[in-house]
Amino acid sequence: MLARPKRRQRMVLAAGATAITLLVGLLGGSAFAGETAGTAGLPADDPARGLVYQGLKSAKDGPCAGLFEVKGVTPTMCTHGPDAVPVGLSVKTRIQPFAAAPAGATTNALAVCEGDGTSGRRVEVLYVRGSTSRYAQYLETFRTLAEGVDVIFNESARETGGERHVRYVTENVNGACRPVVRDVQIPDSALHANDWAPLLNAVKAAGYARTDRKYLQFVDANVYCGIGGFAGDTRKSDANRSNSGPEYARADNGCWTAGVAAHELGHTLGAVNNNAPNASGQAHCTDEWDVMCYKDGPNVVIQTKCPDRAHDQRLDCNHDDYYHTNPPAGSYLAQYFNVADNLFLIRGSGSGPGPQPGQNRALTATASASYTSSWESVAAINDGAEPTQSNDTVNPRWGTWPNTGQQWAMLTWASAQALTSAEVYFFDDNGGVRVPASWRLQYWNGSTYVDVPGASGYPTALNQYNRVTFGGVSTTRLRVLLQSGAGSVGLLEVKAYGS
Query: Residues 401, 440: one domain?
Result: yes
pLDDT score of 23: 31
For 158, phi and psi rounded to 5 degrees?
-65, -25
Q: Is residue 392 part of a domain?
A: yes
pLDDT score of 298: 85
Q: Is residue 405 part of a domain?
A: yes
Q: Is residue 354 part of a domain?
A: no
pLDDT score of 295: 86
Q: Is residue 201 part of a domain?
A: yes
Type of residue found at 250: R
Q: What's CA 292's distance to the chain center, in Å?
A: 16
Name the domain count of the chain: 2
Query: Residues 319, 375: one domain?
Result: no
Q: What is the CATH number of the domain that holds 376?
A: 2.60.120.260
Query: Residues 37, 82: one domain?
Result: yes
Determine how many CB atoms are found less than 10 A away from the CB of residue 89.
23
Task: Quote the domain boundaries for residue 453.
Answer: 361-498
Question: In the sheet where 247-252 sits, what is the strand order?
Answer: 181-185, 122-129, 213-219, 247-252, 226-228
Which residues are CB-neighbours of 229 under 8 A, at least 6 positions away?
Answer: 77, 78, 79, 247, 248, 249, 267, 268
Query: Residues 130, 264: one domain?
Result: yes
Residues 272, 275, 281, CA angle at the centre, nearest 5°?
Answer: 65
Query: Residues 311, 459: one domain?
Result: no
Q: What are the residue ranges of helices labelled H in 269-376? A: 332-335
3-class DSSP assignment, residue 114 = coil
Query: Residues 101, 248: one domain?
Result: yes
Query: Cα dihedral sign for 156, 157, 161, 163?
Result: negative
Q: Is residue 7 part of a domain?
A: no
pLDDT score of 288: 93
pLDDT score of 112: 85
Query: Residues 320, 198: one domain?
Result: yes
Given 347, 370, 399, the domain boundary residue is 347
What does the pLDDT look like over 475-496, one tens digit per residue?
999 999 999 999 999 999 999 9
What does the pLDDT look like over 74-117, one tens digit per residue?
999 999 999 988 878 999 999 999 986 655 555 678 988 888 89
As a whole number of angstroms, the distance between CA 169 and CA 114 comes to 9
As a whole number of angstroms, the distance between CA 24 and CA 88 comes to 12
Query: Residues 113, 250: one domain?
Result: yes
Q: What are the residue ranges of helices labelled H in 39-134? A: none
Given 290, 315, 347, the domain boundary residue is 347
pLDDT score of 107: 61
Calculate the CA dihedral of residues 362, 364, 370, 371 and round it to 10 degrees. 100
Query: Residues 297, 411: one domain?
Result: no
Query: Residues 316, 380: one domain?
Result: no
Which residues are CB-neighbours of 206 under 8 A, at least 6 positions away?
Answer: 184, 185, 186
pLDDT score of 99: 80
Query: Residues 398, 315: one domain?
Result: no
The pTM of the full predicted model, rounded to 2 decimals, is 0.67
Q: Is residue 352 part of a domain?
A: no
| Average pLDDT for runs of 10 along the chain of length 499 | 32 32 34 40 90 94 94 95 88 90 65 87 97 97 96 93 93 91 98 97 97 97 97 93 96 96 97 96 93 88 91 92 93 96 79 52 92 95 91 92 97 87 95 97 92 93 92 91 96 89
Q: Is residue 207 part of a domain?
A: yes
What does the pLDDT look like over 12-67, one tens digit per residue?
333 332 333 333 333 333 333 344 443 347 889 999 999 999 999 999 999 999 99
Given 321, 347, 373, the domain boundary residue is 347
Q: Is residue 356 part of a domain?
A: no
As a whole number of angstroms, the distance between CA 298 and CA 276 comes to 19
Query: Residues 48, 84: one domain?
Result: yes
